[in-house]
Amino acid sequence: EAGVAQSPRYKIIEKRQSVAFWCNPISGHATLYWYQQILGQGPKLLIQFQNNGVVDDSQLPKDRFSAERLKGVDSTLKIQPAKLEDSAVYLCASSLIAGVLFRANYEQYFGPGTRLTVT
């Protein structure tokens, strides 16, 4: 079974530039997550999709970050404009399904991440 795919793996940009990351979840996984992991910290949830709808984006800095999951499969995360403090690894994860009725299938599988450096 193929895992979660992400691209690019590395990106270096200057502050105030824009950047976009792509994620392809495991086939059949309805739920997709984007996490931000700053060096030396644990991942922080940015946004969660169930199919193509947003379930939770309470920690997404919406003035500069946006994400979409058209057709309920692939997802893109965009930062515009980037700040120095956005330097981090952006992890995408997927799970078969989430929700109280389906908790047995909750386990999240993580992609390799995109390492972003903002200079």
Partner 1 sequence: ELKVEQNPLFLSMQEGKNYTIYCNYSTTSDRLYWYRQDPGKSLESLFVLLSNGAVKQEGRLMASLDTKARLSTLHITAAVHDLSATYFCAVEGGADGLTFGKGTHLIIQP
Minimum gap (Å) between residue 24 Cβ and partner 1? 14
Q: How far is the CB of 55 from partner 1 (least distance, A)?
A: 5
**One-letter-per-residue 3-state SS of 19-76:** EEEEEECCCCCCEEEEEEECCCCCCEEEEEEECCEEEECCCCCCCCEEEECHHHCCEE
Residues at the site binding partner 1, with contacts judged by CB under 8 A: 31, 33, 40-45, 48, 55-56, 58, 91, 95, 98-99, 103, 106-113
Tell me the closest approach of the beta carbon of residue 72 to partner 1, in angstroms. 17
Give whichever of 81 and 97 is closer to partner 1, judged by the CB atom.
Answer: 97
Task: Determine how many CB atoms are found less than 10 A away from the CB of residue 63.
Answer: 8
In the bound state with partner 1, the residue whose beta carbon lies nearer, of 79 and 90, is 90
Q: Which amino acid, 67? A: A
Smallest separation, CB 88 to partner 1 (Å) = 13
| CA 7/CA 3 separation, integer angstroms | 13
**Measured from the CB atom, is 66 or 108 closer to partner 1?**
108
